[in-house]
Amino acid sequence: MAPPLKVCIVGSGNWGSVIGKIIGENAAENKMFDSTVYMWVFEELVNGRKLTEIINTEHENVKYLPGCKLPANVVAVPGLLDAARDADILVFVMPHQFIRETCDELKGQIKLSSIGVSLIKGIEVGSYGLKLISDVIRETLGIEVSVLMGANLANEVAAEKFCESTIGAANIEHGKILKELLQTRNFRLRVVEEADAVEICGALKNVVAMGAGFCDGLGYGDNTKAAVIRLGLMEMIAFVRLHCEGLVPDSIFLESCGVADLIATCYGGRNRKIAEVFAKTGKSIKQLEEEMLNGQKLQGPQTAIEINHTLKLQNLVNKFPLFTAVYQICYECKPVSEFVKCLQDHPEHK
Ligand SMILES: NC(=O)c1ccc[n+]([C@@H]2O[C@H](COP(=O)([O-])OP(=O)(O)OC[C@H]3O[C@@H](n4cnc5c(N)ncnc54)[C@H](O)[C@@H]3O)[C@@H](O)[C@H]2O)c1
Ligand SMILES: O=P(O)(O)OC[C@H](O)CO
C-alpha cells in the first residue's frame, strides 16, 4: 500500500482555518492521508500569547475563526519551511497579496512530486498583463496546481451549513485526490477540467460584490442588486473568455464557482459589507478594513486595481463599465453615488 499522503495547509486565516477543520477531520478518518496535518500560521501575538501556541493548546484560531474548535491532529507551525518541506499535498489559502513572497520562501525547498491546490481568490498583474495565482505557485515551485473555488462564506462552512464548491483540475487524478481530501457531507464538490476559468471566476466575483455593497449602502433594493449580479456576471463571463485558452463552456458559470459564489458574496461577503459602510460613511476602504475585519483582508478592491490594469493594457476599459466603476470609486475619488450610472449606461442595454 502507498504511504499516506502528508498534507500542509499554507495559511490560517478565516477560510484557512475552516479548511484546516475539514482536512483535519477527513485526514483522521481516511487512510489515504497522514493523520497529522500541518497548518502554517503567520505568527502573531494575541493577548500576549503566540497564536500557534493558542491553536495547539486550545485547538481554536481565536483571532480568525473564534468559536470553532479545530481537530487536535491539525498542528499549527510558525515556520513555513518546517510546515511544508515534507508535504505531498500543499493547500494554499491566504490573501492573494502575500502569495508571491510565500512562494519565494518555499522555492527549491519542497517535494517536486507534491500536488498543489490554490483556494486563493485573486489575480496578479504586471507589465506582462494578467497572471493567475495558480500560475505564480506553479512557476515558482515547479509543481502542478489545481484550484478550489465556490460559494463558501467561511463562517457558514465552519458551522457545517450545507454548501457546494468546485475543484478545477486539469489533472483529473489530482482532482480525485483533492476531492477525497476536501469533501464532506455538507461541503459537496464537483471536479471540472477548466481550472483557469474556475479561478478567474473566484477572483472577479469579489469586484462585483463591492458594487452590490455600494448599492446596499446607497439604499437601493433587491431589484438593483439583481441587476448588479446579472451585469456583473456578464462582465465576468466576457473577461473569463478573453483570458482563458480554448472554449469555456457556459456550464462553468453554473457551477458553484460561478453564479452561486457571486450570489453568496453579493449578499453575505466581507467585500459587500465593507462597500456598504464605505458608501454610507465615506471612510476609506483601508480604514474600514482595519476597523471592521480584525486582521482579515479584503480581496475585491485590490482585484479591481489588477483588473483595471489588465483592461488598460488591452484597451478594453469601456467594455467593462461595472469593474471600471468599482475601481474608480475605490481609487480615483469617483463619487459612490454615481455607481448606478454604470448600470444605467451598460452596453448590455444598447
Ligand atoms: N473568508 C472566507 O469566507 C473565504 C471563503 C472562500 C475563499 N476565501 C479566499 O481565501 C483566501 C484566504 O482568505 P482567509 O479568509 O483565509 O484570509 P483572511 O482574510 O482571514 O486573512 C488573514 C490571514 O492573512 C495572514 N497574513 C497577514 N499578513 C501576512 C503575510 N505578510 N504573509 C502571509 N500571511 C499573512 C494572517 O496571518 C491571517 O492568517 C482569500 O483569497 C479569500 O478570498 C475566503
Ligand atoms: O467575504 P468575501 O467577500 O471575501 O467572500 C468570501 C468567499 O469568497 C465567498 O465564497
Q: Are residues 181 and 233 in the same domain?
A: no
Stated pTM of the model:
0.98
What are residue 333's phi and psi, to 5 degrees? 60, 20
Instruction: Tell me which residue has its CA closest to atom 17 in ligand 1.
Output: 13
Q: Please give the Cα distance from 278 to 208 (Å, whole number).
A: 15
Contact 303, 207 (CB under 8 A): yes
Q: What CATH number did the domain enclosing 294 receive?
A: 1.10.1040.10
Looking at residue 96, what DSSP letter applies? G
Q: Are residues 208 and 150 in the same domain?
A: no
Closest CA to 20 of 86, 83, 105: 83
Q: Please give the Cα distance from 28 to 24 (Å, whole number).
A: 6
CB of 111 closer than 6 angstroms to any ligand 1 atom: no
Which of 168, 193, 218 is the C-terminal boundary of a domain?
193
Q: Are residues 212 and 308 in the same domain?
A: yes
CB of 97 closer than 6 angstroms to any ligand 1 atom: no
Ligand 2 centroid to 61 CA: how many Å? 19
Q: Please give the Cα distance from 202 to 196 (Å, whole number).
A: 10
Q: Are residues 136 and 270 in the same domain?
A: no
Q: Please give the Cα distance from 186 to 101 (Å, whole number).
A: 34
- pLDDT at residue 1 above 90? no
Domain range enclosing 252: 197-349
Active site (catalytic) residues: 205
CB of 13 closer than 6 angstroms to any ligand 1 atom: yes
Q: Could you give the number of structural domains in the chain?
A: 2
Contact 191, 175 (CB under 8 A): yes
Q: Are residues 76 and 159 in the same domain?
A: yes
Which of 193, 226, 242 is the C-terminal boundary of a domain?
193
Q: Please indicate if the annotation marks 278 as binding a ligand.
A: no
Looking at residue 71, what DSSP letter applies? P
Q: Are residues 222 and 181 in the same domain?
A: no
Averaged over 56-81, what is the pLDDT? 98
So what's the ipTM on this one? 0.99
Task: Tell me the H-state helices in the chain.
Answer: 14-29, 51-58, 80-84, 99-106, 133-141, 154-158, 172-182, 195-217, 222-243, 261-268, 270-281, 285-293, 300-313, 321-331, 339-344
Q: Are residues 176 and 220 in the same domain?
A: no
Q: Are residues 82 and 26 in the same domain?
A: yes
Predicted confidence band of residue 321 (pLDDT cuts 50, 70, 90): very high
Contact 288, 274 (CB under 8 A): yes
Q: Please give the Cα distance from 223 to 220 (Å, whole number).
A: 8
Which of 193, 219, 254 is the C-terminal boundary of a domain?
193
Question: Which ligand ends up closest to the CA of 14?
Answer: 1
Q: Are residues 187 and 202 in the same domain?
A: no
Measured from the Cα of 101, ligand 1's closest atom is: 32
CB of 302 closer than 6 angstroms to any ligand 1 atom: no
Q: Are residues 272 and 336 in the same domain?
A: yes
pLDDT tens digits for range 61-71 = 999 999 999 99
pLDDT tens digits for range 110-155 = 999 999 999 999 999 988 889 999 999 999 999 999 999 999 999 9
Q: Are residues 107 and 229 in the same domain?
A: no
pLDDT tens digits for range 189-210 = 999 999 999 999 999 999 999 9
Averaged over 237-258, what is the pLDDT? 97
Instruction: Tell me which residue has its CA closest to atom 4 in ligand 2.
Output: 270
Closest CA to 265 of 197, 203, 173: 203
Q: What CATH number did the domain enclosing 139 receive?
A: 3.40.50.720
Question: Which ligand ends up closest to the CA of 269?
Answer: 2
CB of 269 closer than 6 angstroms to any ligand 2 atom: yes
Looking at residue 119, what DSSP letter applies? -
Predicted confidence band of residue 78 (pLDDT cuts 50, 70, 90): very high
Q: Are residues 184 and 259 in the same domain?
A: no
Q: Please give the Cα distance from 1 to 8 (Å, whole number).
A: 22
Measured from the Cα of 299, ligand 2's closest atom is: 4
